[in-house]
Amino acid sequence: MKKKLMAGLLVMVFVFSVFTFSGCGNENQIIIGTKDFNESIVLGEIFAQVIEAKTDISVKRKLNLGGTFICFEAIKKGDIDLYPEYTGTGITAHLKLPVISDTEEGYNVCKDEFDKQFNIAWLDPLGFNNTYAIAVTKEIAAEYNLSKCSDLKVNNASQNISFGGEHEFFNRPGDGFDGFCDLYDVSFKGDTIKMNVALKYKAIGDNEMDATDAYTTDSEILEYELVVLEDDLGFFPPYIAAPIIKNETLLKFPELKDVLNLLSGKITNTVMTQLNYNVMIDKQSVKVVAENFLTEAGII
Amino acid sequence: MEIFEKSLEHLYLVFTATVFSVIVGVLLGIIAYRVKHLDKIILWLTDTLQTIPSLALLAFLMIFFGLGDLTLIIGLVLYSLLPITRNTYTGLKDVSPFLKDAAKGMGMSKMQRLLLVELPLSFPLIFVGIKIALVTSFSIAVLGVLIGAGGLGSIIYSGIQIQDVSMILKGAIPVTLMAIVFDIFMTFIEKRMIKKAKN
């Protein structure tokens, strides 16, 4: 009995070693990672499908990795070859630099510094900016004729508009609520309402407030028919999305650059919001959403 | 079918990790029992490992071992050490001193005493430790998806992403079921062992 048990154990150990050490080393393969939120996963799937359609490289997906830290460590180690990243995150989290509010400058700093420090290349921006924004209900936008943030100041419109948002937005020192009110020189009606992220869209949908903070590509913007006000004074730092890829991988598969750059500028804020909506609200599968986007945009 | 495949992966990860935990854990337990002064250090170490939040430990291990199954398995082994090492140590300590003396009196060497008397007598307790380690590993292994390992975590986390409760359940129910089945099965064996030991 005991001997059998020991033999069983040994077999398992052997099987395990074979499993672990045979997995590596597929010559014609790249690995795509994404962070653990919806938008990142959709982008990763789009990258994967465009590569599969345009090249004969096989793609392994590691979607849903636990956040920025893990994706970045993984690409530095070479466990993944590429993943979608945002310039704002690149500058503050990876390069540990202060916020850069100019879009183009931010992108160029990322491009140069990542190449120098990490041997990672930034490909062309996809075309959207997922940053904080102020969103108002359709009715309020029509009533006060709002399309950009400085419209809030016209005829002191903001004083008739109530504002509520997530806790973090009020706590952020530089690019939060107070900074916004200072720059645009506005104040809102009554006390601001502070709440949990998940509740803020429901609250504005139920007309408990008129304006809130949003991420510019949130699917709820479509769901609740909100109007995102253009940040015309450039208060919120840009978070431009682009594929980032190891230089080594680009050397090995030079065609990847052109293939991924087919997506350049194709995914605007409107498109990205719609893609998020299709997955989050319409419950379509990520695969289908990515495929439909690529065919409709005429990329594959 | 995806669920079936992912369940198998999950099982494989948990099993492999448990096999290694048993080897390392029992060995550490024996060392703690045999080597003076080392017991405090070893038990403190396994206790401390247990208190590190799982995701933090996995993210930390990932820096050294990269993405994938190996990192998750190492993480699971580290978490399993506490119940196995501690139970081995306690089991060996609690073997009746009369029996230990009797074995000594029969002229057994240290090694013989350990292998033929002390370990077999403490096996029921060690087995409980293994059971605890195995059952908790099922739920910790769910986090594997965040460091690129396989298993049912990918279904659960995709469900969380798109706020789809039925998808979350599709991943969570097999995890729970497997853990419960193993718990019942091993408890049954454990009871039989205790019964046998009493007779």
Give just the sign of the alpha carbon dihedral A142, A148, A151, A153: positive
Does A16 have pLDDT greater than 80?
A: no
- For the segment A273-285, the average pLDDT, to the nearest whole number, is 93
Check if the beta carbon of residue A244 is closer than 8 Å to that of residue A83: yes
Residue-wise pLDDT tens digits, A32-74? 999 988 999 999 999 999 999 999 999 999 989 988 999 999 9
- Whether residues A218 and A262 fall in one domain: no
Q: What ipTM does this complex have?
A: 0.83
Q: Phi/psi zone of residue B145: left (φ > 0), alpha (ψ -120 to 50 degrees), beta?
A: alpha
For A176-179, which contacts have Cβ atoms below 8 Å and span 24 or more sequence positions?
A: A177/A213, A179/A235
Given pLDDT bands bounded at 50, 70 and 90, which one contains residue B74?
very high
Does B152 have pLDDT greater than 90?
A: yes
Which residues of chain A make contact with B68, given a CB cutoff of 8 A?
Answer: 23, 79
| Minimum Cα–Cα distance from B59: chain A residue | A70
Which CA distances in Å does B16 have to A16, A202, A279, B187?
7, 45, 36, 20
Task: Report the alpha-carbon distance of residue A273 to residue A216 in Å, rounded.
Answer: 8
Domain end position, chosen among A183, A202, A229 = A229
Q: Phi/psi zone of residue A283: left (φ > 0), alpha (ψ -120 to 50 degrees), beta?
A: left
Smallest CA-to-CA distance from A23 within B173, B148, B4 is with B148
**A12 within a domain of the structure (yes/no):** no
Q: Is B69 near chain A, with CB under 8 Å?
A: yes
Given pLDDT bands bounded at 50, 70 and 90, which one contains residue A18?
low
Q: What percent of chain A has pLDDT over 90?
A: 80
- Whether residues A146 and A184 fall in one domain: yes
| Minimum Cα–Cα distance from A80: chain B residue | B67
Q: How far is A189 from chain B (nearest CA, A)?
A: 33
Residue-wise pLDDT tens digits, A171-186? 877 778 999 999 999 9
Name the one residue in this structure whose structure tokens are 């359609």: A53
User: Which class in CATH covers the domain with range B2-198?
Assistant: mainly alpha
What does pTM read for this prediction?
0.86
Residue among A33, A70, A79 whose CB faces B59 most closely: A70
Which residues of chain A make contact with B70, given a CB cutoff of 8 A?
Answer: 20
Residue A93 amino acid letter: A
Does A25 have pLDDT greater than 60?
A: no
Cβ pair B148:A23 closer than 8 A: no
For A258-289, the DSSP string reads HHHHTTTTTS-HHHHHHHHHHHHTS---HHHH
Cβ pair B147:A37 closer than 8 A: no
Residue-wise pLDDT tens digits, B17-28? 999 999 999 999
Cβ pair B67:A16 closer than 8 A: no
CATH number for A170: 3.40.190.120
Name the one residue in this structure whose structure tokens are 């139920």: A206
Cβ pair A66:B19 closer than 8 A: no
| Lowest mean pLDDT segment, chosen from A11-20, A129-138, A161-170, B3-12 | A11-20
- Whether residues A76 and A200 fall in one domain: no
Strand partners, A212: A135
Task: Report the alpha-carbon distance of residue B122 to residue B115 in Å, rounded.
Answer: 11
- Whether residues A259 and A116 fall in one domain: yes
Residue-wise pLDDT tens digits, B29-45? 999 999 988 999 999 99
Residue among A9, A65, A279 whose CB faces B146 most closely: A65
Mean pLDDT of chain A: 91
Which residues of chain A make contact with B23, given a CB cutoff of 8 A?
Answer: 9
Given pLDDT bands bounded at 50, 70 and 90, which one contains residue A196?
confident
Does A13 have pLDDT greater than 70?
A: no
Does B2 have pLDDT greater than 90?
A: no
**A119 within a domain of the structure (yes/no):** yes
pLDDT on residue A288: 97
Q: How many domains does chain A have?
A: 2
- Whether residues A204 and A81 fall in one domain: no
Structural domain of residue A138, as residue ranges? 132-229
Cβ pair A66:B59 closer than 8 A: yes
Q: Which of A13, A73, A82 to mutate to test the interface with B (most CBs of B within 10 A)?
A: A73
- Whether residues A282 and A244 fall in one domain: yes
Q: How far is A187 from chain B (nearest CA, A)?
A: 35
**A5 within a domain of the structure (yes/no):** no
Smallest CA-to-CA distance from A289 within A33, A48, A27 is with A48
- For the segment A80-95, the average pLDDT, to the nearest whole number, is 95
**A17 within a domain of the structure (yes/no):** no
pLDDT on residue A173: 73
Does A19 have pLDDT greater than 60?
A: no
Residue-wise pLDDT tens digits, B77-97? 999 999 999 999 999 999 999
Mean pLDDT of chain B: 93
- Chains A, B: CB contacts within 8 A come to 76
Given pLDDT bands bounded at 50, 70 and 90, which one contains residue A266?
very high
